[in-house]
Amino acid sequence: MIHSLFLINHTGDIFLEKHWKSVISRGVCDYFLEVKEKAVEPENVPPVLQTPHHYLISIYRDKLFFLSVIQTEVPPLFVIEFLHRVADTFQDYFGECSESIIKDNVVTVYELLEEMLDNGFPLATESNILKEMIKPPTILRSVVNTLTGSSNVGDKLPTGQLSNIPWRRAAVKYTNNEAYFDVIEEIDAILDKSGMTVFAEIQGVIEACTRLSGMPDLTLSFMNPRLLDDVSFHPCVRFKRWESERVLSFIPPDGNFTLMTYHVSSQNLVAIPVYVKQNISFFETGSCGRLDITIGPKQTMGKMVEGLMVTVHMPKAVLSVNLTASQGNYTYDLATKVLVWDIGKLNPQKPPNLRGTLSVQSGAPRPEENPALDIKLKIQQLAISGLKVNRLDMYGEKYKPFKGVKYMTKAGKFQVRT
Amino acid sequence: MTTMQKLLQLPVNAVNIVKTVQSQVQGQEEDKSPVLTPDGGQQTWYNALQPDELRHLRSGGSGGGFGGGGGGGGGGDQEERAVLEEGGGSFQNQPLRHDDLKEMLDSNKDSLKLEAMKRIVAMVARGKNASDLFPAVVKNVACKNIEVKKLVYVYLVRYAEEQQDLALLSISTFQRGLKDPNQLIRASALRVLSSIRVTIIVPIMMLAIKEAASDMSPYVRKTAAHAIPKLYSLDPEQKDQLIEVIEKLLADKTTLVAGSVVMAFEEVCPERIDLIHKNYRKLCNLLIDVEEWGQVVIINMLTRYARTQFLNPNINESLLEEGGEKTFYGSEEDEDEDDEDKDKKAEVATMAKRKPYVMDPDHRLLLRNTKPLLQSRNAAVVMAVAQLYFHLAPKAEVGVIAKALVRLLRSHSEVQYVVLQNVATMTIKRRGMFEPYLKSFYIRSTDPTQIKVLKLEVLTNLANETNISTILREFQTYIKSMDKDFVAATIQAIGRCATNIGEVRDTCLNGLVQLLSNRDELVVAESVVVIKKLLQMQPEKHSDIIKHMAKLIDNIQVPMARASILWLIGEYCEHVPKISPDVLRKMAKSFTNEEDIVKLQIINLAAKLYLTNSKQTKLLTQYVLNLAKYDQNYDIRDRARFIRQLIVPTEKSGALSKYAKKLFLALKPAPVLESPFKDRDHFQLGSLSHLLNAKAGGYQELPDWPEAAPDPSVRNVEVPEWTKCSSREKRKEKKVEKPFYSDSEGESGPTESADSESDSANGSESVSGSEVSGSGSESEESEEGSESEEEEEEEDEEKDKKKKKKELKKKPVQESESEQSSEEEEEERKHERKSKPRKSDSETESGDEEESESESSQSESDESESEAEVKKKKKAAQSKPPAKPVKTDGKKEKKEMSLLDLDDFEPAPSPQVTPVNSFLSSSLVTDLEGLSLSDSVLSPATIAPSSALKSYELLHRITGEGLSVEYCFSRQPFSPDANMVAVQIQFTNNATSDTKNLHMEDVKLQSGMRVKEFPEIELLPAGETTTAVMGIDFCDSTQAANFQLCTHTRKFFVSIQPPVGELMRPIFLTENEFKKEQGQLMGMNEITERLTLDVKCRNEHTIVQRVTTAANLSRVPCGSDKECSPPVPPPPPDHPVHRFAGRTVTSSSLVLVTVATKEEGAAQLTVNCEKMVIGTMLVKDILQALTQ
């Protein structure tokens, strides 16, 4: 399946290679680098490329390309999903997934890659198993190891590998037993010029952090599970229980994990928390334009809208901007032509406003399209779909865990067309 | 944290590096103290950091340097140079450093070795050559330190191929490792051994693999499965032996091995589909517990398998559909095509008659067991299931995948890219599936270009008459995008919409014409090209557009667009007779400066004008041809010569010139704008080949459906010897391996019931050839779901509270129960084996039987009547094959009867009649049952009034003024809606006059309840009796359904209240399943009562009869009572336990009833039901039935 993996930074240097079968020359990456050169944005590099003897499947994450070399037929998603899992594992182990951190931990990275694939076929991808085999680097451990010469590598087969619940380590012990659930919802929306909703839906995710001793069996139920239109689960969730009773019943992995993602049907009207009034226009003569954006609260359910930020990708012809913001700061990056207006908290009494003039390259034709506005926002303590966790019960263990649920609403791909 | 860590890590690495330098300078004295005390070490490090030494370090140690964090950012370019220079071998410091590493490896300190290995691995990671360290590294293969060992393995695997002889030194270590008691060491020894690509050791590898394949530890067996393709790629000669190992591992029962061995199968012998037969059902059942990556491989393989083994579920529809689609589009359809369609339909109809399609239960099993995986978090799994459904499922069921695929569009852009490619292919074949999700494909300006283009493709494929206006409005915004490639693609898309949908052609054309005044030349050019294609369809209407375009020729510079305009003018010069010569004049002027494609079109234009309007254009044409004669491009020269010969009459000109007009001005067919994804579905979706639209190496073609299904009995499994083994230990192991989360009792899940319902819909469809759509049954299914939720929610609260309390108490009981059941399972298997040959017989028979059955509804009614008789007489049924077995059968009889029962397709409920313990037969029965019950609905008259059923009065003769109405619960499945209880109503007209227009009105129901009214009875003559059937969904409650019964003169208020026993339908469970389910319904859900049996009611026969009369349940066969093997002491034969099972009609909750008899008429009644209310009421009813 996966023959080799190359890690390439965004300037095109290959800084790590790993082969699971016979060695493939790194020259194979030249095909990829050629395409990458041509593409304006790194995102525009097609994920699957064909070369005379190999197929290259790559992902772009955190300014790094993970490029895998394939020789025979394999489902492309299989490879893509695996590469993302590799990146996730690095993130999990080292806190971030960047070139320098990978270089610093190259041995651990190599050991991980060795465990994750055997002959190109995934062997162990569960973080709980990997962590038993290869301990993540911590300050304390690296000091101890250098002094005593003990190793980071376990010599026992992780119990998870054999059990039916590979995601959980055996014999977990905590003094404080706690389980936290974050219900995070993102609003994906497209608003048209007049502020009408063209398309809106809610994508939710429940991130969990469980630190529970032993083998707890949790049951999480919702007040209104019928809101959920489509769901996907961590493998630990018993699908049958969900089908029949609409409760989440699971033996959780240890630590952080994504319990489920869900989709709230677009048939339900999605409450759009803010309204946007905008007017961006370019004049036919005089090589200038005008911009005027106002944002105000719409359906916020009485909660404060925070972290409000507007990003505008200006047409190439816009040279500079001269704006005044009634609240927050704005920056305009001349190279990328990106205007960012960081507003912060939304004041319902005095809707923030940004207005002023844009100067356009003289002689250039008037830009055809008005740029779309990308909006970021955050609302704490609110799940915009109205989803509510009813209760969390634990079976199988005697202690009483500390439980907590947090709600948050964010703007996902929230775009206003102008 | 990271900087801190770096700081802390630095000293040690630095020390080692420094040490290498120092040792070079000062001699060898230091190598005994490699790890200095922290403070001392640091001291040395910082002191030693002199500029010149640093340089020294860099140039020599750059490869290994960053292993510990020393290298850092700066080394990039130098690194590359180092690689280049290494080839020359002229590098001064290289041997030095390597020597030093060797020295460290030779030392007896593990920490030193580790450090050296880390640096070497870092070199390997960088792609630097470290091969000359091979001897030094290989020596450490037996190192005690596991991390060193692992790193040595990494190194070995990388370089063994290059240094085969030296690598052999390590082999003995691995051979020893293969015998290690620690399974991890065994496994990793095998892993490395098989990864060393040295041909000499092939026999050793073979031996090791064979041994590992029968290892105790499933993890080692998994590693063996991984090793198989490795060996195969090294030496394909070993294939036959490897296939043996694969066959052995395929039979493995653990989920851990399943994925890996199927992967090995796919790489080594994908053509040996016969190896799968015996494991097919096991793989299906294990699937949900296999790790995600294995799931993908297994699902893909099973898709191929199913294509070879089962019949096309759409065999009838696919043809129909094709015809239907065509007429649907059909604005410009030819007559003969219609005829063809009719022919096809006729053909289909005959086919349908000839061969009613029945889905193989194994086919159904696959679909059912993969469906939950659509909810996987892993995109590859979801895609795998989606393609399986797309390729294998009946058309009505494919829809379920749309939602999951749309969900994936939220994922990483690479995932989106692949999914959209597949969606684009699917939308061509099954457009309706994605139509509800149209808006999810709307494009954001921030999407990467390739995603935008794919979404556009999907939107275009989804366009139809109803949504075209929204789509076009959406397209309008895209046209203004800054991404010009995307705009061009949008214009193409508009063109395609316009060709596909006649209604909007003019709108699109107008829109495109407006784009001609766009300032961006690319946009204009693209529009011209598309307009050209559109105009070709109806040129006569649009001469003004052609004129407009002619004017554009002055401004447009894009060659393709200019060429298009010229072609257009030439083609339709008769519509613009005045302008065309003028255009030619202009073009003649600029001819020399034009691009080649434009030049060719100028020549074409000239030729056409010459033929139509030679007076005005003769000279111009001559001029153009002369210019072309001396052109640099030979194509243009050739074309000019060719055209001159054709059109300019000379004495030499051949016969062809007569036909010049016909040649040039022939009517050209309008282009068909097709999706590039058309016909891509001959590649298996989700595959690399599909994505590239080209066959990738190792791609396994998806075979076509077979004409006739191969023998399904090949999948029947012989129970292997070891299950008989009764040693304690083995049994324990087996229990561990038992799937944890999977619904191993797949057949009893709530999904199951829904599935079998849709089965029935399909069945009826194919039999009757009518368009009873499966989607109907689907919507019912969802309704059912939501209703049951409501109820559950109410109950949830109290359940939760009480559950907690009971949970602890019940634990031990549950455990012992399960233990017992697992023991019994083994016995069950033995039975199964015994009955196997007979069963397969019955299967093949059933096929024929059912055909004849569907043809003759007459015989059916006879049969059911005879059934009623049999019931009355309470005869054992086994002596009468055509008769339906009665619930009151004795155990022994049941056992033997099972074979005949399969042939029994009467409308009456039959699940309880099949005490065959295997999964297959039960699902076969459900499938077939579905088939038959749909027949019964078509002819409600065939339902014979059964005297065994208790009748209730709905309307008394006196109140009804001569009309008396009685109803009874017929216990037939009510097929228009499986969630309804069938109520059979008998009208008797005792009056002297006729009653007309009997119908019902004004139905008053509790919320959630539904009623399907009986068809109006137009005339009931005096003294006559008639029956009708209506369906009521009681929502699993005993609330009455109130309505008015109307005649042509009067209205009567009546109400139907069901006894609780009628709110359920029987299901078939084996004893084991029953016990298992019972084990899950303990605590609050269990109600137990002691009772003393009525004197007349002490024999088994009566008990069974009374219980089944009180409630619509089926008897659970308890054959094991008689043939029990020693481990479980059978209950004394005179105190048998009777079990009954059913499901509530609306919510499909299990209802389990146990009557355990004891001495002297004492008995214990246990009811397990999720719905406590139902449980309580049922207990009361059964109690009464047994004690009265």
Is residue B491 predicted with pLDDT exceeding 50?
A: yes
The pLDDT value given to residue A149: 54
In a 3-state reduction of DSSP, which class is residue B40?
helix
Residue B726: pLDDT band (50, 70, 90) is very low
Q: pLDDT per residue over B102-157, tens digit each?
A: 888 888 777 888 888 888 888 888 888 888 888 888 888 878 777 888 888 888 88
Q: How far is B1032 from chain A (nearest CA, A)?
A: 23
Strand stretches in B565-662, DSSP E: none
Check if the beta carbon of residue A173 is closer than 8 Å to that of residue A167: no
Q: pLDDT per residue over B1064-1099, tens digit each?
A: 888 877 788 888 888 777 777 788 888 888 777 777
Residue B41: pLDDT band (50, 70, 90) is very low
Does A73 contact B698 at a Cβ distance shorter than 8 Å?
yes
Q: pLDDT per residue over B308-346, tens digit each?
A: 888 888 876 555 444 444 434 433 434 444 444 445 444
Interface A–B counts its CB contacts (< 8 A) at 315
Q: Which among B122, B450, B740 has the least Cβ separation from residue A44?
A: B450
Task: Tell me which residue of B478, B410, B473 sits closest to B440, measured CA to CA.
Answer: B410
The two three-digit tokens of residue B1183, written as one number = 């109690």
CA distance B490 to B1006: 53
Neighbours of A129 (CB within 10 A): 21
Task: Tell me which residue of B568, B497, B559 sits closest to B533, measured CA to CA.
Answer: B568
The pLDDT value given to residue A268: 59
Phi, psi of B331, rounded to the nearest 5 degrees? -75, -40
Q: Quick one: which H or E segment has residue B338?
A: helix B335-354
The pLDDT value given to residue B900: 37
CA distance B1157 to B1098: 8
In percent, the amount of chain B with pLDDT more than 90 equals: 7
Task: Give residue B14's Cα distance to chain centre.
Answer: 55
Substitution target from B1, B3, B4, B5 for chain A, most A beta carbons within 10 A: B5
The pLDDT value given to residue B4: 45
Look at the block and give the residue holding tokens 């490090």.
B45
Q: Quick one: which H or E segment has residue A89?
A: helix A76-94
Is residue B651 predicted with pLDDT exceeding 70?
A: no
Residue B28: pLDDT band (50, 70, 90) is very low
Check if the beta carbon of residue A224 is closer than 8 Å to that of residue A386: yes
Per the document, the length of chain B is 1188
Q: pLDDT per residue over B1120-1129, tens digit each?
A: 444 434 444 4
CA distance B584 to B598: 12
Does A77 contact B698 at a Cβ distance shorter than 8 Å?
no
Task: Give residue B1030's Cα distance to chain centre.
Answer: 37
Q: pLDDT per residue over B781-827, tens digit each?
A: 444 444 444 444 444 444 444 444 444 444 444 444 444 444 444 44
Residue B858: pLDDT band (50, 70, 90) is very low
The least confident of B627-641, B812-826, B998-1012, B1023-1037 is B812-826
Does A107 contact B446 at a Cβ distance shorter than 8 Å?
no
Substitution target from B411, B688, B809 for chain A, most A beta carbons within 10 A: B688
CA distance B199 to B540: 75
Is residue B745 predicted with pLDDT exceeding 50?
A: no
The two three-digit tokens of residue A282, written as one number = 């370019």
Q: pLDDT per residue over A329-382, tens digit each?
A: 999 988 888 899 999 888 888 889 998 988 888 777 777 677 889 999 999 988
Average pLDDT, chain B: 71
Residue A364 in contact with partner chain B when CB distance is under 8 A: no
Q: How far is B568 from chain A (nearest CA, A)?
A: 29
Residues of chain A with C-beta less than 8 angstroms from the C-beta of B256 = 161-162
Residue A35 in contact with partner chain B when CB distance is under 8 A: no
Write the single-letter amino acid at B944. Answer: A
Can you give B197-215 as a three-state secondary structure string?
CCHHHHHHHHHHHHHHHCC
Check if the beta carbon of residue B19 is closer than 8 Å to that of residue B64: no
Task: Tell me the mean pLDDT in the region B57-76.
Answer: 38
Task: Tell me the mean pLDDT in the region B957-964.
Answer: 80
Question: pLDDT of chain A along its 418 residues, tens only?
Answer: 899 999 999 888 999 999 988 888 888 899 999 998 888 788 888 999 998 889 999 999 888 999 999 988 899 999 999 999 999 999 888 888 889 989 888 888 988 998 898 888 888 888 888 888 787 776 666 666 666 655 566 666 666 566 667 788 777 888 889 999 999 999 988 888 888 888 888 889 999 999 998 888 999 999 888 888 888 998 889 888 888 888 999 999 888 899 999 988 656 578 888 888 888 888 776 678 888 999 988 877 778 888 999 999 888 888 888 889 898 899 998 888 889 999 988 888 888 999 898 888 877 777 767 788 999 999 998 888 888 999 899 888 888 889 999 999 999 889 998 7
B1169 strand-pairing partners? B1151
Task: Tell me which residue of B408, B417, B416, B402 sits closest to B378, measured CA to CA.
Answer: B408
Write the single-letter amino acid at B1133. Answer: P
Substitution target from A79, A119, A370, A395 for chain B, most B beta carbons within 10 A: A119
Name the DSSP class of B355. -
The least confident of A371-380, B538-547, B571-580, B1036-1045 is B538-547
**Which is more confident, B436 or B928?**
B436
The two three-digit tokens of residue B618, written as one number = 């003769």
Query: Across B370-379, B771-780, B816-825, which has the greatest mean pLDDT?
Result: B370-379
Residues of chain B with C-beta less than 8 angstroms from the C-beta of A413 = 444, 446
Q: What is the dihedral of CA B934, B939, B941, B942, to 10 degrees?
A: -60
CA distance B621 to B611: 10
B590 strand-pairing partners? none
Per the document, the length of chain A is 418
Q: How far apart are the first and last CA of chain B?
A: 79
Please state the ipTM of this predicted complex: 0.92
In percent, the amount of chain B with pLDDT more than 70 equals: 67
The pLDDT value given to residue B652: 65
CA distance B526 to B532: 10
Q: Quick one: which H or E segment has residue A288?
A: strand A288-297
Q: Which residues contact B291 (CB under 8 A, 6 or more apart)?
A: A122, A125, A166, B255, B256, B259
Name the DSSP class of A329. E
Task: Tell me which residue of B90, B87, B150, B143 sits closest to B120, measured CA to CA.
Answer: B150
Q: How far is A106 from chain B (nearest CA, A)?
A: 6
Does B8 contact A142 at a Cβ distance shorter than 8 Å?
yes
A247 strand-pairing partners? A221
The pLDDT value given to residue A260: 92
CA distance B124 to B126: 5
The pLDDT value given to residue A287: 72
CA distance B262 to B284: 12
Task: Give residue B896's Cα distance to chain centre.
Answer: 39
Strand stretches in B553-651, DSSP E: none
Is residue B919 predicted with pLDDT exceeding 60?
A: no
Between strands A64-70 and A2-9, the pairing is antiparallel
The pLDDT value given to residue A59: 93
Task: Give residue B866's Cα distance to chain centre.
Answer: 45
Can you give B639-670 as a three-state secondary structure string?
HHHHHHHHHCCCCCCCHHHHHHHHHHCCCCCC
Q: How far is A399 from chain B (nearest CA, A)?
A: 14
Is residue B455 predicted with pLDDT exceeding 90?
A: yes
CA distance B527 to B529: 5
Q: How far is A168 from chain B (nearest CA, A)?
A: 14
Check if the beta carbon of residue B1165 is closer than 8 Å to that of residue B1155: yes
Neighbours of B241 (CB within 10 A): 14
Entry pTM = 0.65
Residue B940: pLDDT band (50, 70, 90) is very low
The pLDDT value given to residue B136: 85
CA distance A216 to A165: 12
Does A190 contact B444 at a Cβ distance shorter than 8 Å?
yes
Q: How far is B415 from chain A (nearest CA, A)?
A: 6
The pLDDT value given to residue B354: 52
